[in-house]
Amino acid sequence: MPVKSRRDFIKISGVGSIFFMGLPKIFSGKNPADASGPIVISTWSHGIPANTAAWEILSKGGRALDAVEAGVRIPEADPKITSVGYGGLPDRDGKVTLDACIMDENSGCGSVAFLEHIMHPISVARLVMEKTPHVMIVGEGALKFALDNGFKKENLLTAESEAAWKEWLKTAQYKPVVNWENHDTIGMIAIDQQGNLSGACTTSGMAYKLHGRVGDSPIIGAGLFVDNEIGAATSTGVGEEVIRICGSHLVVELMRQGKSPEDACRIAVERIVKNQPKKSKEIQVGFLALNKHGEFGSYCLQKGFNYAVRSALHKDVLMDAKSYY
Ligand code: SD4
């Protein structure tokens, strides 16, 4: 399903959404009150169609784990999305290499990194979680594991992405783009009808990265973390900065200490600023968090990061994250 433009969706900012939606004031707490039912939230506008697929499962009482896997498979298979899966921009050697991880309500987790030729790395990550004693496998080993388990070897480099790479080669300047085409990694976190949390994160990583580079997205605790007692968090943007602060784990631990999802994300972003005052002005990092009560929030470095929400109260809603700068 093609990703629609931002204008095609309802777009609201921050906690003001509760008034926009005309809900009673009783919901005027930290966030819209989704506490009583399932909810799925995910990064960027490509989260809208991804959430729709996840909601199909959640709304029928399905498991959050199944929902997040099904959800992120949508952008993974969409050749028009150049930052995830098929159609992802390649590394500087012209290879599309993918990173993904998944985490369930029992602290089960699985991850693949530096994986080539497989359309759905998230499903390989789930298989690592469910069928092996390991958490993470990478590169050729991950490819062999996928092929041994029935995944198909495919060319993920589209003509468009190859042309963009050839254009880039003319100058070969490496500079991560802030708010790249208004979408980036997809990180998705959800609560199901049973009140259980799960999350998934998948990306083709930074365009024109060094061959072999792995970002935050497949790293449990950096790009994604789920604690079924507390909540879940995921991240997008320059993965190196997220790894340095174990970002998603930090956000969940801050929620454990009583912070709201938005405050927890803000404190994590502030830590990046403190560590890298100059660099933080030039890059994007965004966090997205959901607590056990269904409250959600986000915070990022630069304006422009948005996220998609789907619940009984929120249909195809795209929200702007607050930003440090
Ligand atoms: C990563 N967070 O690999 C991911 C996605 C990305 O610029 O490329 N962001 O760092």
145, part of any domain: yes
% the chain with pLDDT above 90: 83
pLDDT at 316 over 70: yes
184 ligand 1 Cβ < 6 A: yes
The structural domain count of the chain equals: 1
Instruction: Say if residues 317 and 10 touch (Cβ distance below 8 Å).
Output: yes
Q: State the alpha helices, DSSP H only, in the chain.
A: 17-20, 47-58, 64-77, 121-131, 139-148, 159-169, 239-244, 247-256, 261-275
% the chain with pLDDT above 70: 86
Of 153, 130, 124, 136, nearest in space to 214 by CA: 136
114, part of any domain: yes
Whole-angstrom CA distances from 94 to 107, 126, 164, 166 are: 35, 27, 10, 8
* 24-75 residue pLDDT tens: 222 323 444 455 699 999 999 999 999 999 999 999 999 999 999 999 999 9
Q: Which atom of ligand 1 is nearest to the CA of 215?
A: 3
**Can you name the residues that pair with 232 across neighbouring β-strands?**
226, 290
Report the CATH number at residue 232: 3.60.20.30
Measured in Å, residue 238 CA sits from the centre of ligand 1 at 5
pLDDT band per the 50, 70, 90 thresholds, residue 212: very high
3, part of any domain: no
- Name residues whose C-beta falls within 8 Å of residue 64's C-beta, 6 or more positions apart in sequence: 38, 40, 58, 104, 105, 190, 191, 192, 196, 197, 198
Supply the pLDDT for residue 33.
Answer: 44
Measured in Å, residue 171 CA sits from the centre of ligand 1 at 21
How many alpha carbons fall within 13 Å on the CB side of residue 166? 7
Supply the pLDDT for residue 164.
Answer: 93
Positions annotated as catalytic residues are 185
Supply the pLDDT for residue 34.
Answer: 53
239 ligand 1 Cβ < 6 A: yes
* 220-258 residue pLDDT tens: 999 999 999 999 999 999 999 999 999 999 999 999 999
301, part of any domain: yes
Residue nearest ligand 1's atom 5 by CA: 205
Hey, how many other C-beta atoms are within 10 angstroms of the C-beta on 105?
20
262, part of any domain: yes
Q: Which atom of ligand 1 is nearest to the CA of 239?
A: 10
Measured in Å, residue 22 CA sits from the centre of ligand 1 at 36
Structural domain span for residue 206: 12-18+37-323
32, part of any domain: no
Measured in Å, residue 205 CA sits from the centre of ligand 1 at 4
How many alpha carbons fall within 13 Å on the CB side of residue 171? 6
pLDDT at 303 over 50: yes
185 ligand 1 Cβ < 6 A: yes
115, part of any domain: yes
CB-based burial label for 115 (10 Å; 0-12, 13-18, 19+): buried
217 ligand 1 Cβ < 6 A: yes
* 119-165 residue pLDDT tens: 999 999 999 999 999 999 999 999 999 999 999 999 999 999 999 99
Hey, how many other C-beta atoms are within 10 angstroms of the C-beta on 218?
32
215 ligand 1 Cβ < 6 A: yes
CB-based burial label for 292 (10 Å; 0-12, 13-18, 19+): middle
27, part of any domain: no
- Name residues whose C-beta falls within 8 Å of residue 210's C-beta, 6 or more positions apart in sequence: 91, 92
